[in-house]
Amino acid sequence: MEMERININVVRPQAYAPLYKLDKNCRDSELSPTEFFLIEIRASQINGCAFCVQMHVKEAIEKGEKQYRIHALSQWEDTPFFTPEEAIILKMTEEITHISNHGLSDELYEKAVKSFGETKVADIIMTIVSINAWNRIGRATRLAPQPAQS
């Protein structure tokens, strides 16, 4: 039987404060809501955080994201559903989430700066960093998604 894990928001709520502030900063950035959700969902898929996947998929659908695009995210490179700009963001999400493999490649970084400019690249990187932090909390404390209310 698995031991129940702590709820950090209950045990040390002040520990979440900087993450909430970072999340708000990312949401108020140059990223569109769609770009933001693509990052959050894709990183959460990679990290295996079911809690975050469910939460961000629900938010994305509520904001009008198409379900066929969400379903295709794990295989985005093999679909025609994502713009070239979204592909750059998704590739950055993968490279930064898998940071220990090779880091963010020079080629992709240069392509991103050329496509978006330095400010938006900073926003993309910080959003990826933010969701990775949340995913690690979710996985470490075994946060579980809640069943849909009917």
Return the CATH number of the domain spanning residue range 13-140: 1.20.1290.10
Q: What's the token pair of residue 64? A: 């009008």
pLDDT exceeds cutoff 80 at 122: yes
Report pLDDT digits (tens) over 137-146. 999 999 888 8
pLDDT at 146: 81
